[in-house]
Amino acid sequence: MSPFRLLALVAFLASLVSLPASAQTQLAPPVAPSAAPAAAVPVTDGSMQIVWEVRNRFRLFREERDFREQAESLNGLTVLASEQALGLQSEGRGWARNVVNRLCIDLTGRVNEPCTRDGVKESYLTPTEHPVTVRLTGAIPVGAICAWVFDDGDGPRPATQDCAEPINFRARYGKPTVATVDVTSGADAPLRVSTEIAVRDFFIAGLGDSIGAGEGNPDRPIALSDEGFCYRSYLGIGTVGATAGQFYRPSRAGFKGGRACEAPDTLANWQRYSATWFNAACHRSLYSYQTRTALALAVRHPHIAVTYLPLACTGATIQEGLFGSQRARECFRTKSGTNCPGSVNGQIAELREALAAARKRQPQRGLDLVLLSVGANDINFSGLVADVIVDSPTERGIFRRSGVIGSIEESRNTLTRQLPQNFAKMREAFKGLVDDMSRVVYVTYANPALANRGVPCPGGPGGFDVHPSFSADPNRLAAVASFVDNEFLPRLKDLAQCTGGVLCRDPSADAMTFVDAHQRTFANHGFCARAETDPEFDRACFSPRGDSFTSDIVAAANSPMACGAGASNFRAYLPRARWIRDANDSYFAAMTFPQGLPAAIQPADIHDATWGVVSAVYGGAIHPSAEGHAAMADAALPAAESVLSLQPGPEVTSQPLPPPARNDR
């Protein structure tokens, strides 16, 4: 055995003594530079290469196992196909239910500074180093020993080990590390391979309204009871055989309080069993297209890290939400009970504060990308939805007087007059946050009322019979769908791109990056889409005729589903034809009792008639499902990669499920 080979073997055996059980080599402290063996021969033919990747590079996740699950599920798949696979893998319970408590942002929306990620305390907004895994690949001789050296300018750090094993270290951010490895095998001269390791950390913010937040998709859905819970109704008559103005729907699992309308209970007791959002006040969800886009960027590009700041909030408008504060949507649960913030700070102010804090520590830190969806609440789209689905004259009159029901004419006036002014104000605010307006990626909405290749949904009670006064009126539905397609969505595109007569100071520089590719796929997946591949519970228990629930109030108290199955069998995250949550989905997934309602329509108790209405819609009715958000992320991802000057990720070889076959049962 040659002297060099003997020395290398001794060094390798010595290094094994200090290896932890995980076999992750710990680099030695920097040492004084030493001359490399004269016999080392550089490899120039590409037969061996150093490859590296940033570990747990979606920095919102505290634990690498959560990132690895996403990376494995996205390997060669679209975000949509990945979401469908994860939904099936979790049996419809959703992948986020286990991740929501392992984030670098707390339930109030505050960033954890520092955040302990995989056992190491890091500054979330201003990382100084990133965990990296390095491997030698290619034609490696069997049994070869690798003598590694990592040098970031502060002295080399050596490590010696079997070439078949990866090596982990923490690379300094903002300063490249030169990785060199001498490969020794037998009596031959060692071979040398080198590369430069430089991590790019992108600061990405998500802003906007409920579409940006992920409304409709709680990270941990509500657990449903198979027993009924009583709501009062404004209707003057009850259902067949019922006490006037009362109806039963599935209760929350675990709730032991009064389920009958004559036995009121406290909201605090009821709230203990609510759905879980990673920010309840804004109904922010890990399923949102903004989170999925940022996460997919991290998965597809191994040499980057993504520092993601989610700020979008359900109910936000440009004036109240982006610039000013807005009402909180819901309480969030803590170990000691519940916390009910009255309001949520303006998103632009929150972003400015975070950016200023980051620049104090890293003056060159900038905002690389903004994902944005806003405008629907500005024109009172929820009021248009209420106008379509609230069918009872009694409830229509009550909600029109309280401002819940809107009209197309009112929305058209806002779209023509106020929204352009507010959009221009928002554009000017973004100029102080990004160095180029193309870094604001505006992801527009999809028409939620289309199915069967763009044919408008026919209307009727199907999907909305969770409340006895709901039914999608065909004429009003067609009118709203036409307004959305022909007026609202085209105007948003003009506003974002400075076209169609929209006045911008410099149209070529003021245009945002605009994304609307997902609209074509949503044309097959509106709220009325049904297919034989839908979950068994949906096909058996959600009737398109509007008779999904037991009408007899005595029987409904114990078994509210007309199909005879228990409501606990509903699974929010199984693949289905509709990518838009209907009112039934909203109730069964989130059952929201919002604290952010105006005082004029705050309910008296949890059986109140107002709760009966809002619990069916304030959890995400007429919002994209997790599949819908995944499809939006697939549309946004190429635009984000282009803005960040990232090469497109690996070719996608697996496609989403085909359009559903029509099913009119």
Three-class SS of 11-23: HHHHHHHCCCCCC
Q: Give residue 394's pLDDT.
A: 82
Q: Which string of b and e fits 532-551 if b means at least 16 CB within 10 Å?
A: eebbebbbbbbbbebebbbb
Q: Are 665 and 539 in contact (CB under 8 A)?
A: yes
Please report which helix (H) or strand (E) contains residue 67, including its range.
Answer: helix 64-73
- 392 pLDDT band (50/70/90 cuts)? confident
How far apart (Å, rounded) are the C-alpha atoms in residues 121 and 154?
22
Task: Tell me which amino acid residue 170 is.
Answer: R
User: Cα 381–383–384 angle (5° rounding)?
Assistant: 65
Give yes or no for residue 66 having a pLDDT over 60: yes
Phi, psi angle pair for 546, to nearest 5°: 90, 25
The mean per-residue pLDDT over the stretch 410-439 comes to 96
How far apart (Å, rounded) are the C-alpha atoms in residues 235 and 469?
8
- 240 pLDDT band (50/70/90 cuts)? very low
Closest by alpha carbon to 303, among 650, 641, 55, 651?
A: 55
**What domains, with CATH codes, occur in the chain?**
3-56+132-197 (2.60.40), 64-110+203-643 (3.40.50.1110)
Query: Chain-centre distance of CA 475, in angstroms?
Result: 34
- Pair type for strands 200-208 and 304-310: parallel
Q: Which residues contact 174 (CB under 8 A, 6 or more apart)?
A: 362, 364
Q: Are 379 and 418 in contact (CB under 8 A)?
A: no
Does residue 625 sit in helix, strand or coil?
Answer: coil
How far apart (Å, rounded) are the C-alpha atoms in residues 194 and 430?
42
The mean per-residue pLDDT over the stretch 56-64 comes to 98
* DSSP for residue 364: T
| pTM, to two decimals | 0.91
Closest by alpha carbon to 186, among 15, 2, 39, 10?
A: 2
Task: Tell me which amino acid residue 631 is.
Answer: A
Percent of the chain clearing pLDDT 90 (strictly above): 74
Query: Chain-centre distance of CA 181, in angstroms?
Result: 40
* DSSP for residue 284: B
How far apart (Å, rounded) are the C-alpha atoms in residues 398 and 384?
15
Tokens representing 370 are 């903004």
Give yes or no for residue 236 having a pLDDT over 60: no
Q: Is 335 exposed, middle or buried (0-12, 13-18, 19+ CB in 10 A)?
A: exposed
147-205 per-position pLDDT tens digit: 999 999 998 999 999 999 999 999 999 999 999 999 998 878 899 999 999 999 999 99
Task: Tell me which amino acid residue 84 is.
Answer: Q
Q: What is the mean pLDDT of the chain?
A: 89
Phi, psi angle pair for 199, to nearest 5°: -85, 135
- 336 pLDDT band (50/70/90 cuts)? low
Number of H helices, E strands in the chain: 20, 23
Q: Are 606 and 264 in contact (CB under 8 A)?
A: yes
How far apart (Å, rounded) are the C-alpha atoms in residues 39 and 8?
14
Bridge partners (DSSP) listed for residue 111: 105
Q: How far is CA 422 from CA 375, 419, 553, in A?
A: 9, 5, 49
Query: Chain-centre distance of CA 639, in angstroms?
Result: 17
The mean per-residue pLDDT over the stretch 546-556 comes to 94
What is the chain's alpha carbon radius of gyration, rounded to the nearest angstrom? 28
Q: How far is CA 154 from CA 29, 33, 83, 178, in A?
A: 10, 10, 44, 11
Q: What is the DSSP string of 469-520?
A: TB-B-HHHHHHHHHHIIIIIHHHHHHHHHT-TT---SSHHHHPPEEE-THHH
Tell me the HSE value of 257 on the side-chain side, using a 13 A CA sphere: 20
In this predicted model, which residue has the larger pLDDT, 108 or 431?
A: 431
Q: Give residue 26's pLDDT.
A: 59
How far apart (Å, rounded) are the C-alpha atoms in residues 294 and 371?
9
Helices 79-89 and 626-643: crossing angle, nearest 10°? 140
Q: What is the largest CA-CA distance in the chain?
A: 98
- Count CB-CB contacts under 10 A for residue 199: 23
Q: How far is CA 313 from CA 372, 464, 509, in A?
A: 11, 25, 28
Please report which helix (H) or strand (E) contains residue 262, including its range.
Answer: none
End-to-end CA distance of the chain: 79
Does residue 180 sit in helix, strand or coil?
Answer: strand
Does residue 224 sit in helix, strand or coil?
Answer: strand
- 271 pLDDT band (50/70/90 cuts)? confident
Closest by alpha carbon to 445, among 140, 187, 615, 208?
A: 208
Give yes or no for residue 136 having a pLDDT over 60: yes
Tokens 């009121």 belong to 264
Give yes or no for residue 662 having a pLDDT over 60: no
Q: Which residues contact 325 (CB under 8 A, 6 or more apart)?
A: 343, 344, 345, 346
- 594 pLDDT band (50/70/90 cuts)? confident
Tokens 């070869």 belong to 144
